[in-house]
Amino acid sequence: MTITWRSIREQREEFWSSSPVYRAIYERLSKQGYHIIGVLGAVKRCHWTREAIIRHRFCYKCLWYGIESH
């Protein structure tokens, strides 16, 4: 049995649509800028990660302390 991206996406959509509560959680997380990964994961990218990559602007941790946080 091979696993395809289509089957994974269908399982994820089926899970998040299975209950009004899950749907509300999904919509709230998406609105707040989280990316849903699978069924159990959500990630929110730091604003400064994008700024560092695109505009070469860094957060205070990198500028003042030399800590790369992205």
Per-residue pLDDT of the chain (70 residues; tens, 9 = 90+): 688 888 888 888 888 888 899 899 989 999 998 988 877 889 988 888 888 888 988 888 877 888 776 5
Q: Determine which helix (DSSP H) or strand (DSSP E) holds 51, and give its type and residue range.
A: helix 47-55
Distances (CA, A) of 25 to 13, 19, 57: 13, 10, 33
Q: What is the pLDDT of residue 63?
A: 78
Q: What is the pLDDT of residue 10?
A: 87
Q: What is the pTM of this model?
A: 0.60
Q: What is the pLDDT of residue 3?
A: 81
Q: What is the pLDDT of residue 70?
A: 56
